[in-house]
Amino acid sequence: MNSNQDIVEHPARTLLDLASGKRSILIVCHNNPDPDAMAAAQALKVIFFAQKPKRKVVIVYGGIVGRAENRQMLRRLKIEMTSIKDISFRDFSLVCLIDSQPHTGNNDIPRAVYPQVVIDHHPLNAATKKCDFYDVRPGYGSSSTILTEYLRELEIPVDKRLATALFYGMKTDTGGFSRSVTKADLETFNFLAPRVAPRTLAAIENPPVPKGYYLKYVDAIESCVVYQNVIVTDLGKIGNPDIPAEMADFLLRMEAIRWVLAMGEYRDELILSVRTSRRGWWAGKIALRILRGLGTGGGHERAAGGKVALAGMSPEERKVIRDRVAERLLKVVGVGDVTGKPLFASRNQEQS
């Protein structure tokens, strides 16, 4: 096993020492993977192939690839991923977890399995310390930043496709380079930007979307309730687990709004997304708090998410859960005593 000092000083080389004898490697993304998880996983695959071209390297994910942008990214950048349901952990001699950590509830690695490798930029989880190699940098804007540093440390050429993937991963995780951007992220930006394929990136960012996509905006707006500087929106049943995050981002741009909680039911889970424009409050910690005893959650300073298992619950019981989550958030952010106003009710008064 390598010391932590090795990991700090030359992480990529230390990682390759660990991987040197391995013929079959599994790279696991978090559930409903986002561009950062997918780009970082692809970069890791490229690194493993550069060390030994004839080995097997498979990227897997739990949940689904929901957003049209994310599906377009896989297609345009030729990233191959498999559902975690279609593989067996026993077939791999090395398991890596990317953009997530053990026991956080957002990946489908069985609890008893500790991946040997964890690379992430969320706050360090206690279970991660049991893993042979972990490189967790909560200060970083994206996992793509960490993996780009690995590629550079190893002097592995970064082609247009991989550069575009990593750039897009950084861009989405940092809200277009506006939040959680460190010096390391800016340096990585400068390295990747000239290597990006701009038209491919534009095609990924503006994919055709189904009609139902617009209807979800209607649902999101119709169900908005405003509590001073907080919006809560309940999207009802959703066909794609990424919708709450997308609506939360969209609503956070509203004037005078500092917090958004968006919730929706996907299959038998309540999926929720928390966004804030306030610094220093750690949306991730707040998501954990409001889900205590109900489900799992976590995230970053300004963006977080979580879920609650609803299987076997009646519609009434599900409503109780949603109300409890909303009440807890309102209380935590200091508007627990405020009476909410439906956004739609103000439509005829303020046509500004």
For Mn ion, give the closer residue by CB, 36 or 301.
36
H or E stretch covering 328: helix 315-332
What x/- string results for residues 310 through 339 when contact with Mn ion is judged by CB under 5 A? ------------------------------
For Mn ion, give the closer residue by CB, 162 or 226.
162
Question: Is position 99 an interface residue for Mn ion (rule: CB under 5 A)?
Answer: yes
| Residue listed under structure tokens 């189904």 | 210
How many residues line the site for Mn ion (CB under 5 A)? 4
> How many CA atoms lie less than 13 Å away from 24 in the CB half-sphere?
7
For Mn ion, give the closer residue by CB, 219 or 242.
242
For Mn ion, give the closer residue by CB, 33 or 231.
33
Q: Phi-psi category of 289—alpha, beta or left, where left has phi over 0 and alpha has psi -120 to 50? A: alpha
CB of 99 to Mn ion, least distance (A): 4
Tell me the residue length of the chain. 352
Question: Is position 173 an interface residue for Mn ion (rule: CB under 5 A)?
Answer: yes
For Mn ion, give the closer residue by CB, 151 or 225.
151
For Mn ion, give the closer residue by CB, 149 or 265.
149
CB of 191 to Mn ion, least distance (A): 18
CB of 18 to Mn ion, least distance (A): 22
Give the separation between CA 68 and CA 71, rounded to whole angstroms: 5
Strand-pairing partners, residue 262, are 233, 273
CB of 133 to Mn ion, least distance (A): 18
Give the separation between CA 22 and CA 43, rounded to whole angstroms: 18
CB of 141 to Mn ion, least distance (A): 8
- What tokens does 184 get? 């390391």
**Residues between 11 and 40 that touch Mn ion (CB under 5 A):** 36
CB of 61 to Mn ion, least distance (A): 13
Residue type, 352: S
- Cα 48 to Cα 13, 22, 39, 98, distances in angstroms: 11, 10, 14, 14
| Residue listed under structure tokens 């390295």 | 191
Residue nearest to Mn ion (CB): 36
**Residues between 130 and 169 that touch Mn ion (CB under 5 A):** 143
| Residue listed under structure tokens 């909303």 | 326
Residues of the shown chain interacting with Mn ion in the complex, contacts defined by CB under 5 A: 36, 99, 143, 173
